[in-house]
């Protein structure tokens, strides 16, 4: 591990929600939740105002609505997020040729490789300058972590949130990590965390004290040895420029085998939604859906289905995974389930017909529930259905022949409510139209307003 804190981790603050607040003056300083708004929708990002009510990413949207009923609930606009991400990644590449994007809003940078930093002083100055540049170019904020390894840099950026910078000095890593929860370490999810807790291990220091042999006995050779090394602050992974991602997947291991077929189906649907969330965060779509099932006897089965074109539509992935599950016998019990997507691409065909169907399905579901706000789709970039059947996704852009640019606040029962404002205007007026109003059309997102000469305070940590 290097002797200077020259690995930088950038994580944009509440990225999707912050972009929506920047684009919509009436939402600034208010609770905003972005995600899938249908019956099975999950939260992609919540603003810090919404997090104060307990809303967080990956939470079922129904639960979020109960916690924060007055928040603004919006469908993601991935085209806008990708544009902002490209601007941010461009700033990172000015610092170093070694930039490793993890998602649209997160990346590692090797500052030493680009000559941007060689010691603590230059690393801190580079991190501070980067944060100011991001604010100046995009109007948004990001948190920066600096350390001698990728693991520690990521931990530092988490401690810096929101809108801060934390540097972990080489030589202090063990002292910093010791009192932290085992869940702080990469690869320690709920199942592993519970397994360690039952063994009396709840902090990183207790992992180190348990020793490698005990960790291997508890978790297996690869996982146990890797976790022990991380507890000792050992992380030699290099920053790899422009990783060529082959697939995106999620899986869960269950402490008690699942025998109930209905629950197995529910778990597969939930994993499919999580997989799509990760797929979209990476800015990808895919055409091959993969189901992984580890049964009670440790036999592992995989099934796959290749679609006609790439997608990041959660309904499509859920349905494909459900079809694959039908060919697997789970009567003896299931220890592990996983859903993945491969054959990745940077565009999706859901921009066309699949998304129109998703909007229609969510509208029908909302109407049955008697909700006026059932206008939502996972992502609707362009209007693709007949004018008489047009549906309007909450948060998406529209333009009116008389009133100009605005965004959809809600729709239902043949009406659509629009707030007319732009990123550089004052909070705008709200008007309601028929959903088939010929003067109202879908529109492309407007660019955010850059903050020229942005100055900001930096939260620092040793």
List the domain boundaries for the chain.
1-170+352-383+445-462, 180-231, 247-347
Contact call for residues 339 and 353 (beta carbons, < 8 A): no
At residue 242, the pLDDT reads 63
Catalytic residue among 20, 100, 106, 379: 106
At residue 120, the pLDDT reads 95
Closest CA to 277 of 16, 9, 12, 10: 16
At residue 351, the pLDDT reads 40
% of the chain with per-residue pLDDT over 90: 63
At residue 459, the pLDDT reads 42
pTM for the full predicted model? 0.72
**CATH fold of the domain at 180-231:** DNA polymerase; domain 1 (1.10.150)
* Whether pLDDT at 389 is above 60: no
At residue 245, the pLDDT reads 66
CATH of 1-170+352-383+445-462, one of 3.30.1510.10, 3.30.465.10, 3.30.70.270, 3.60.40.10: 3.30.70.270
At residue 36, the pLDDT reads 85
**CATH fold of the domain at 247-347:** Dna Ligase; domain 1 (3.30.1490)
Mark whether 106 is an active-site residue: yes
423 contacts: CB under 8 Å, gap ≥ 6? 22, 23, 24, 25, 139, 446, 447, 448, 449
* Whether pLDDT at 157 is above 80: yes
Confidence band for 196, pLDDT divided at 50, 70 and 90: very high
Confidence band for 390, pLDDT divided at 50, 70 and 90: low
- First vs last Cα of the chain: how many Å apart? 19
Residue-wise pLDDT for 357-384, tens only, equals 333 334 333 333 333 232 223 332 222 3
Closest CA to 420 of 432, 407, 433: 407
Q: Average of pLDDT values for 155-163?
A: 95
Closest CA to 239 of 90, 97, 82, 91: 97
* Whether pLDDT at 147 is above 70: yes
Confidence band for 452, pLDDT divided at 50, 70 and 90: low
Q: How far apart are CA 194 and CA 183, in angstroms?
A: 10
At residue 391, the pLDDT reads 74
Handedness of CA 264, 252, 216, 206 (dihedral sign): negative
Q: Which has more confidence, 429 or 452?
A: 429
Residue-wise pLDDT for 33-83, tens only, equals 999 887 778 899 999 999 999 999 888 999 999 999 999 999 999 889 989
At residue 241, the pLDDT reads 86
């Amino acid at each position: 591990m290097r002797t200077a804190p020259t690995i930088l981790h950038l994580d944009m603050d509440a990225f999707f929600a912050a972009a929506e607040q920047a684009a919509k003056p009436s939402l600034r300083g208010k609770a905003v939740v972005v995600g899938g708004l249908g019956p099975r929708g999950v939260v992609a990002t919540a603003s810090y105002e919404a997090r104060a009510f307990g809303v967080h990413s990956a939470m079922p949207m129904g639960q979020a609505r109960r916690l924060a009923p007055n928040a603004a609930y919006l469908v993601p606009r991935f085209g806008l997020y990708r544009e902002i991400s490209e601007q941010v990644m461009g700033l990172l590449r000015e610092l170093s040729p070694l930039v490793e994007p993890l998602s649209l809003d997160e990346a590692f940078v090797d500052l030493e490789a680009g000559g941007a930093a060689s010691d603590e002083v230059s690393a801190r100055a580079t991190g501070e300058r980067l944060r100011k540049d991001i604010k100046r170019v995009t109007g948004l904020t990001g948190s920066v972590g600096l350390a001698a390894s990728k693991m520690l840099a990521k931990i530092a950026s988490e401690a810096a949130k929101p809108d801060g910078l934390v540097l972990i000095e080489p030589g202090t890593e063990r002292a910093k990590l010791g009192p932290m929860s085992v869940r702080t370490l990469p690869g320690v999810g709920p199942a592993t965390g519970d397994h360690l807790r039952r063994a009396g291990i709840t902090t990183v220091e207790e992992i180190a004290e348990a020793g490698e042999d005990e960790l291997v006995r508890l978790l297996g050779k690869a996982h146990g040895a890797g976790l022990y090394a991380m507890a000792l602050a050992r992380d030699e992974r290099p920053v790899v420029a422009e990783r060529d991602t082959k697939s995106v997947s999620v899986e869960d291991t269950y402490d008690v085998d699942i025998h109930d077929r209905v629950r197995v189906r529910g778990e597969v649907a939930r994993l499919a939604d999580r997989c799509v969330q990760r797929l979209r965060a990476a800015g990808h779509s895919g055409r091959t859906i993969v189901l992984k099932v580890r049964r009670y006897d440790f036999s592992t089965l995989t099934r796959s289905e290749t679609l006609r074109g790439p997608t990041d539509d959660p309904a499509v992935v859920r349905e494909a995974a459900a079809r694959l599950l039908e060919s697997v016998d789970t009567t003896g019990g299931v220890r592990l389930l996983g859903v993945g997507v491969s054959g990745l691409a940077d565009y999706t065909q859901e921009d066309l017909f699949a998304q129109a169907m998703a909007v229609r399905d969510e509208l029908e579901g909302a109407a049955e529930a008697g909700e006026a706000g059932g206008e939502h789709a996972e992502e609707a970039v362009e209007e693709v259905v007949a004018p008489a059947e047009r549906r309007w996704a909450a948060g998406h852009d529209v333009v009116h022949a008389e009133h100009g640019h605005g965004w959809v606040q809600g729709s239902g029962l043949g009406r659509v409510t629009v707030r007319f404002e732009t990123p550089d205007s004052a909070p705008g007026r709200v008007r309601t139209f028929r959903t088939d109003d010929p003067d109202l059309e879908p529109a492309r997102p407007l660019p955010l307003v850059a903050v020229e000469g942005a100055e900001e305070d930096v939260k620092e940590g040793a």
